[in-house]
Amino acid sequence: MKKPTRVNHPPPVDLPPDNRAVVSPIYQTVKFEFDTLAETERFFRGERPGFFYTRASNPTTRQLELLLAELQGREECLVTSSGVGAISQTLLALTKQGDHILCFVETYNPTRYLIRRLLGRFGVTHTMLSIEDLAGAERALAAHPTRLVIFESPTNPVTKIADITALTRLAKAAGALTVMDNTFAGFHQHGEYDVDVFVHSLTKYASGAGDVMGGAVIGRSDLIRNLRNDFGALGGMLDPHAAFLILRGLKTYFVRYQAQSASAMKIAELLAAHPAVARVHYPGLPTHPQHALARAQMRDFGTIVSFDMKAGADAGGKFADALKLFALAASLGSTESLVVAPQMMGGRDLTADQHKLSGVTEGTVRLSIGLEDIDDLVEDVKQALEVAQ
């Protein structure tokens, strides 16, 4: 074999079957081959397992799918290149012209955009209510045959809690599928509820490091199997290297989520006792209007604390600027703390009435609590409140 040939066909290294890597290797390859055409054809006919092309599946992304399905307590999972990719492909795969979607004003901004603007162009209609309006949800489901109900809990940024039992029961009675964006609550929560499809951004708690993007769709195998072909054609699959980074991040998921939630509770208590703060939104606080529901549904209340500055947007902006340990940045669930100032909040697509329903005020600030020492975070929040006052 001449050397230009050799560099394209390097010497194979095969591990003996009883000799395994402790950390699974990254299958950083697009293509897989079988020994013969006959075996390749058997694979195409579904008569044997294997991998062929990474857009369809890859051992590293598959390992992440199997792990996430188990964490969320479902049979199957598909991973995608971002959380929004998981949501957009799920919506496209589950709806057709003439279908109706029930969604909520507290829904993640890009999800609202997808439903209103993108699916709207394809003749999919929607009703948008407040997540607290169960009577309205019942009326909307009675008024329109509905394909799916999509919701979140806790919601972004003011951590309203969806009544999952009530919503899934209403949807099921109306013959609608439920899609729950479970990014805020995480993979270890809400699995016991009768939700058909969970979607997640892996960009947040899964990796924890804030250095990689990904998304996941998790549900019963019959549902996810149907989605797999559409997802392959839409082409937004996760890259194996990103899957490896996310698998690595997941090893510390539970300790991070619990430690960051414990710190979030302390920050929420500090804010609640401060005279510059009108209202704190954290489901773990007994003063949260849905604290009892949150306690019933959740084991950990999460790492997002938002609050309303009494003095409005200027004070909120001053507070955010004065923080030293919190990056003025989007996203959440990473090991470093983050702040979103009122001036950075979305929601410009909402009408005045819808904006009011959303619970976001002029002075709403969102904190994502990281893994820094809690004493340092407390000091930082205290000094920033003094500056803002």
List interacting residues with ligand PLP (CB under 6 A). Answer: 82-84, 108, 152, 156, 181, 183-184, 201, 203-204, 213, 215
Cis peptide leading into residue 16 (ω within 30°): no
CB of 235 to ligand PLP, least distance (A): 16
Min. distance of Cβ 161 from ligand PLP in angstroms? 14
Neighbour tally for 380: CB within 10 Å: 18
Cβ burial 21-58 (10 Å sphere, 16+ → b, else e): eeeeebbeeeebeeeeeeebeebeeeeeeebeebeebb
Nearer of residues 110 and 136 to ligand PLP, judged by Cβ: 110
Reported residue count of the chain is 389
Nearer to ligand PLP, 90 or 388 (CB): 90
Structure tokens at 355: 């904006």
Residue 147 and residue 171: Cα distance in Å, rounded?
9
CB of 213 to ligand PLP, least distance (A): 5
The nearer residue to ligand PLP, 304 or 315, going by C-beta atoms, is 304
Which of residues 51 and 326 has its CB atom nearest to ligand PLP in the complex?
Answer: 326
Helix or strand run (H / E) with residue 111: helix 109-113
Min dist CB 384 to ligand PLP, Å, is 24
Closest to ligand PLP by CB, 86 vs 280, is 86
Which single residue brings its beta carbon nearest to ligand PLP? 83
How do beta strands 125-129 and 100-104 pair?
Answer: parallel
Residue among 90 and 95 whose Cβ is closer to ligand PLP: 90
CB of 124 to ligand PLP, least distance (A): 19
Q: How far is the CB of 201 from ligand PLP (least distance, A)?
A: 3
End-to-end CA distance of the chain: 76
Structure tokens at 35: 């020994």
Rounded CA separation 75/2 (Å): 49
Residue 95 tokens read as 């709806």
